[in-house]
Amino acid sequence: MIVAEAVGRALAARGVGTAFGVVGSGNFHVTNALVAGGVRFVAARHEGGAATMADAYARMSGRVGVVSVHQGPGLTNALTGLTEAAKSRTPLIVLAGEATEVQSNFHIDQAALATAVGAVAMRVSSPEEAGSRAAEAYRVAVEERRTVLLNLPLDVQAAPFEGPVDVLVAAAGKSAAPAAGSPAIPSAGPSVAEVGELARLLGAAERPVFIAGRGARHARRELEELAELAGALLATSAVAKGLFRGSPWDLDVSGGFATPLAAELIRGADLVVAWGCALNMWTTRHGTLVSPGAKVVKVDLDPASFKTHVPADLGVAGDVARVAAAVAAQVAPRPGYRSPEIAARVRGEGRWRDVPYEDESGGGRIDPRTLSIGLDDLLPRERIVAIDSGNFMGYPSMFVDVPDEGGFCFTQAFQSIGLGLATAIGAAIARPDRLPVAALGDGGALMGIAELETVVRLGLPMVIVVYDDEAYGAEVHHFGPHGHPLGTVTFPPADLAAIARGHGCAAVTVGAPGDLAGVAEWVAGPRDRPLLVHAKVTAEHGSWWLEEAFKGH
Ligand SMILES: Cc1ncc(C[n+]2csc(CCOP(=O)(O)OP(=O)(O)O)c2C)c(N)n1
Ligand SMILES: [Mg+2]
């Protein structure tokens, strides 16, 4: 056995489920060893796609993501996806060949590259380290929730591995990663004083609101129980969308995507408790959703988050589920913010589709709100929705509902366009029980289109919706009103339906609400190939969440 095989075998033995990548000579053996060890390997067509698939897979499966790339350009191609994963604290292991000879065409400083984008760099420097480095990469990825680059120098990879395989396997250990969104839980419980103080604040609050983020996706039951006692209303950040779905007190997403009702009620809170949520500018509309008079509490594994963004008056360090359970033991039931009037308002105006609007469809183009509502009605509820970036992104985020926190995959920490399709692929592989839906702009769709063949090849029953305004709409709406020339950000029409058919997809072009009948036909079955919905959308105005985005630059 050579070292590359030993590393692959060790990771397979550690319980890695699925790996994604593009195979070249420098990662050929390690990838085959993963496969020989029982790992499913998904071949992407671009390393950027592979990295994002692994990221989305990890987010939606709760297992560590693995990416396998060739040295040099294999890694540079993966970088945008890796940056997104690193910023999102996704547990991810990147296996990369490494040309350590500076004369090699493939040589770059791979460790520096990884560090520059927030990942952790490691290297198997000798055959003896094969097992221990693999185990360490796994531990740091899972327990510290980091993106870890494990460099495999070409000469070391090819060297014989002398140690017995069972020693390797034993060194690597054998256990699954924690559940989705649940980071490694420190063994010490939260501080008694902090728990008591949060219980006291909840006992005194008239209008408490909980905002749950990525760090709370595993804690629905505990948070709902505590909210019930304290009379709190429930909201989430975008990445945790769906967490409280079905609760009569669910305000859905807080921030740019919030309904007018959610924004009003969150602003009316006298106590905001952020659970595994940083309260960043997106979740709080630059802080304006938190009333200046409101007390703010943050519960988070990472105390560094207490002072960032909207700062906390009280920080409680610990796992969200544990803290919520401990606090619940000390809170007497009270109505708080919950009343029959509020319940009726949440029922009547709690969803975007309840908010009246004027349908602007016409002239061969469909209003993106009408499109999104139509899709929400037509597509099966057991779905998993992935969203790319751009002006369009709020429409599917706000109007296409999801069944729970496992129904929304939002790879937007780096705000890159072009990640949406690969996100949907990774999510689809994590949740084969759900209909994957990719919502893309025309710009993001064409940037990530290398993976369209992957969708077809894998036989994923995916619905890919392209909100086509023949432009980088975000830029058009930002600069257009000031009279700037827009030739650099506008494009002639492209027949995306024909492109999709060429790849082997079914496709329907939607220029009016009636054209959605084509989607209904596909849904009726047999759904034996993916469907691309090429929606020619109206684009008279920019979106309100876009204004928000540009304020953050
Ligand atoms: C990789 C990358 N390149 C450029 C940008 C800047 N950018 C943000 S939105 C956008 C336009 C996206 O166009 P499209 O996907 O068609 O969505 P639209 O805004 O038109 O709805 C661009 C170019 C970015 N965020 N990421
Ligand atoms: Mg566009």
DSSP output for 25-92:
GGGHHHHHHHHHTT-EEEE-SSHHHHHHHHHHHHHHHSS-EEEEE-TTHHHHHHHHHHHHHHHTT--E
Q: Give me 235's structure tokens.
A: 């909201």
Question: What is the DSSP-derived secondary structure letter of residue 381?
Answer: S
Closest approach atom of ligand 1 to CA 389: 9
Give the pLDDT band (50/70/90) at residue 85. very high
Q: Is 420 in the pocket of ligand 1 (CB under 6 A)?
A: no
pLDDT tops 60 at residue 300: yes
Q: How far apart are CA 505 and CA 13, in angstroms?
A: 37
Q: Over the stretch 415-448, which tens digit does the pLDDT of each residue have?
A: 999 999 999 999 999 999 999 999 999 999 999 9
Ligand 1 midpoint to CA 441 (Å): 8
- Residue 551's pLDDT is what? 72
Nearest Cα neighbor of 275 from 198, 205, 365 is 198
Residue 337 has pLDDT above 60, yes or no: yes
441 lines ligand 1 (CB under 6 A): yes
| CB-ligand 1 contact for 472 (6 Å cutoff) | yes
* 52, 82 contact by CB (below 8 A): no
Whether the CB of 81 sits within 6 Å of ligand 1: no
Q: pTM score > 0.85 for this model?
A: yes
Q: Check pocket membership of 416 for ligand 1, CB cut-off 6 A.
A: yes
What stretches of 390-472 show up as alpha helix (H) in DSSP?
394-399, 420-430, 442-447, 452-458
Distance of CA 257 to the CA centre of its chain: 16
Pocket of ligand 1 contains residue 84 by CB under 6 Å: no
The enclosing H or E element of 384 equals strand 383-387
Mutate to test the pocket of ligand 1, among 117, 397, 417 (most ligand atoms within 8 A of CB): 417
Ligand 1 center from residue 444 Cα (angstroms) = 6
Give pLDDT tens digits for 163-207.
766 655 665 554 444 444 444 555 678 999 999 999 999 999 999
Place of tokens 């305000």: 251
* Mean pLDDT across 57-67: 97
Answer whether residue 312 shows pLDDT above 90. Answer: yes
Q: What is the mean pLDDT of the chain?
A: 95
Nearest bound ligand to CA 440?
1
Pick the atom of ligand 1 nearest to 445's CA.
Answer: 15
Query: Would the CB of 387 count as within 6 Å of ligand 1?
Result: no
pLDDT in tens, 399-409: 999 999 999 99
Query: Which of 449, 472, 488 is the pocket-test mutation for ligand 1 (most atoms within 8 Å of CB)?
Result: 472
